């Protein structure tokens, strides 16, 4: 289905981009740490600012470089509840050439963004990759059915909404039909692909053509080629 291809592609691309971004931040942090000077800093104040109608706080840290210079910098991560108190001691990494370029050596300051990007990236890429893999599998099954599947006429049973799919709060329609296996006698219900317009007026027939794997009736394809193309 085209919608699933698009959604899967978008999720996979976004997830891959986030994961790559997380990896880039991690590499940047690692390079910075390898060349950085180390010092013990002290939280001398809390800087407040507004974000999304909430008051957030960042620590203002002061430390002394190896050559005795006093430097102050603000933390990169804010929180609605102060993560530090005035007077707290914190480990500091700083650029020896430009000491004002400094970081609190903590997970929240240096690792949180990496973990968030990698975690969200894996989730998005996993969902998108799963959708794409499912579509690829369905395409292969359909190609096999078109060449090797048994063509049957299944009893048309109606038009309903496919509630398993929702785009902008809207569900597509689908055609439903049923077929009795000529040897086993089991009755199987088949559904068409999603249709993004009401097809009711165009189904003036009692049966629908279906390609089915007689050994695995779950593998089937309801042919809706007789319907007009959505404009």
Q: Are residues 202 and 102 in the same domain?
A: no
User: Same domain, yes or no, for 112 and 159?
Assistant: no
Q: How many domains does the chain have?
A: 2
Q: Are both 98 and 182 inside the same structural domain?
A: no
Q: Are residues 68 and 113 in the same domain?
A: yes
> CA dihedral defined by 31, 33, 34, 35, rounded to 10 degrees?
90
Between β-strands 70-74 and 54-64, what pairing exists: parallel, antiparallel or unpaired? antiparallel
For the segment 71-89, the average pLDDT, to the nearest whole number, is: 91
Q: Which residue among 118, 141, 174 closes a domain?
A: 118
Q: Which of 215, 165, 231, 169 is nearest to 192 (CA)?
A: 165
Mean pLDDT of 107-111: 89
Residue 76 domain flag:
yes
Query: Domain range holding 16?
Result: 2-118
Q: Per the domain annotation, does 133 fall within a domain?
A: no
Q: Looking at 101, 118, 135, which one is the last position of a domain?
A: 118
Tokens 């799963």 belong to residue: 130
**Three-class secondary structure of residue 4 per DSSP:** helix
Residues 96 and 193 in one domain: no
Give residue-wise pLDDT tens across range 181-205. 988 889 999 999 989 899 999 999 9
Instruction: Please give the pLDDT value at position 54.
Output: 87
Domain boundary among 118, 138, 171: 118
Residue 1 pLDDT: 59
Query: Do 106 and 163 reside in the same domain of the chain?
Result: no
Asked if 175 and 223 touch (Cβ cutoff 8 Å), the reply is no
Residue 229 has pLDDT above 90, yes or no: no
Same domain membership, residue 173 and residue 83: no
**What pLDDT shows up at residue 231?**
55
Q: What is the pTM of this model?
A: 0.69
């Amino acid at each position: 289905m085209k919608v699933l291809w698009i959604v899967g592609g978008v999720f996979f691309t976004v997830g891959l981009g986030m994961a790559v971004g997380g990896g880039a931040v991690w590499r940047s942090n690692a390079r910075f740490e390898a060349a950085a000077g180390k010092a013990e800093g002290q939280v001398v104040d809390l800087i407040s600012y507004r974000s999304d109608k909430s008051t957030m706080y960042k620590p203002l840290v002061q430390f002394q470089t190896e050559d005795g210079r006093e430097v102050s910098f603000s933390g990169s991560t804010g929180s609605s509840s102060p993560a530090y108190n005035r007077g707290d001691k914190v480990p500091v990494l700083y650029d020896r050439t430009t000491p004002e370029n400094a970081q609190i050596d903590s997970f929240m300051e240096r690792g949180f963004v990496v973990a968030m990007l990698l975690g969200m990236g894996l989730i998005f890429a996993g969902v998108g990759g799963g959708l794409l893999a499912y579509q690829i599998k369905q395409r292969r099954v359909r190609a096999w059915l078109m060449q090797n599947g048994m063509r049957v006429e299944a009893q048309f049973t109606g038009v309903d909404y496919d509630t398993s799919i929702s785009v902008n709060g809207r569900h597509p329609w689908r055609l439903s039909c049923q077929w009795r296996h000529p040897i086993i006698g089991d009755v199987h219900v088949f559904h068409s692909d999603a249709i993004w317009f009401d097809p009711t007026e165009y189904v003036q027939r009692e049966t629908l053509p279906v390609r089915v794997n007689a050994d695995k009736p779950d593998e089937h394809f309801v042919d809706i080629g007789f319907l007009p193309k959505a404009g």
